[in-house]
Amino acid sequence: MQRALKILGPTALALVVVDVILGLWVTPPDEVQGDLVRLVYLHPALAWVALYVAFGLAALCSILYLWKRTRSLTFDRLAAASVEVGVVFTVLTLITGSIWGRPTWGVWWTWDARLTSTALLAVLFIGYLALRRVPADPDVRAKRCAVAALFAAVDVPIVHFSVVWWQTLHQGATVLNANLSPRIHGSMAWTLLLSFIAFTALFAWMVLMRFKLEELNTEGEDAELAAAIVARQAEGVSS
């Protein structure tokens, strides 16, 4: 894994830098949205990583942990790393969405269906992180968090449809009625594709780093436990 991280990190960073350069300076402005369209090289990729990759991975690892045959704390740590990084990407999604929304709608926030469900998803997973911080045995904590992630993952489609239907009853706040999906072609299309690859790679690198950190913590705890067992046994021997 060390070698993978050594390659992945710089590669991801380089891809993001290239994406930013292309997005800010090389690609043309949109005929309707002008320079505002440049957020398309950030926002959809961030949203894709946050909503599908991060939480999808967390849900998958949680299922693998809960299934006895594949139960391993590795999956628990991977799920936790994925949720942590996923929450960061979700917040960035909301921020970039707001930045786009301000000139478009005249307000920093609107009850657009996607923004609203994304915000709710962020809170669901912040709850996961809060649960993770409750002191407990590693296996107990892993089980609780896996179940919480599964609940959140199952809830996501229900939340999404509820919010979409709820919001569609209240159309009308948007003057421009624009959305973040302008017609894309040429260099814009390639840059958009690059942004997805770049941010997915960045996510992968951040998750692996976080996972590695957690593993190092655990190795330390295992060594402490072994020492604690020896010390406890010595209590029994000494008078």
Partner 1 sequence: MWRDAWLVASRDLRIEARSRVAIWQVLPFALLTLLLFAFALGPKPGLLAESAPGLFWLSVLFASVLAAQRSSAIEGTSATKDAARLLGLDPSGVFLGRLGALLLEIVALEAVLLAGVTLFFHVRVTSWAVLIPSLLLAAIGLCAANVLYGSLAGEARVRATLLPLLVLPAVAPVLIAGSKAFSSSVLVGDGGSGARWLGVLAVFAVVYSALGIVLYGPLEES
Partner 2 sequence: MAPAISLRSAVVVAGNYPVLSGVDLDLEHGHVCVVLGANGAGKTSLLRLLSGLATLTAGTACVLDCTLPDEGASLRRQVGLLGHDVGLWDDLYPAENLRFALRAARQDPSLATEALERVGISGKTAKTRLGLLSEGQRRRVGLALLIARRPQLWLLDEPHAGLDASTRLLLSELVESAAQGGATVVATSHEPELSVPMADVVLTMRGGAVIEQRLGGRLRPRGVSDVA
229 touches partner 2 by CB under 8 A? yes
Return the axis-axis angle of helices 138-168 and 55-66, rounded to nearest 10°. Answer: 140
Residues 6+ apart with CB under 8 A from 170: 111
Question: For partner 2, which is the closer residue by CB, 142 or 198?
Answer: 142
Tell me which residue of 58, 85, 78 sits closest to 148, measured CA to CA: 58
225 touches partner 2 by CB under 8 A? yes
Whole-number Å distance between alpha carbons of 202 and 10: 9
172 touches partner 2 by CB under 8 A? no
183 touches partner 2 by CB under 8 A? no
Count of residues engaged in binding partner 2, rule: CB under 8 A: 15
219 touches partner 2 by CB under 8 A? no
Task: Decide: 27 and 45 in contact? Cβ < 8 Å.
Answer: no
What residues does 34 pair with on adjacent strands? 30
- Whose tokens are 């957690």? That residue is 214
Tell me which residue of 95, 96, 82, 21 sits closest to 53, measured CA to CA: 82
Question: For partner 1, which is the closer residue by CB, 10 or 157?
Answer: 157
**Binding site partner of 165, from partner 1, partner 2, none, Cβ cut-off 5-8 A by kind:** partner 1
235 touches partner 2 by CB under 8 A? yes
31 touches partner 2 by CB under 8 A? no
* Smallest separation (angstroms) from partner 1 to the CB of 23: 33
234 touches partner 2 by CB under 8 A? yes
Residues 6+ apart with CB under 8 A from 142: 65, 73, 76
216 touches partner 2 by CB under 8 A? no
Q: Near partner 2 by CB under 8 A, which window of 144-152, 185-193, 205-213, 220-228?
A: 220-228
Binding site for partner 2 (CB under 8 A): 135-137, 139, 221, 224-225, 228-229, 232-237
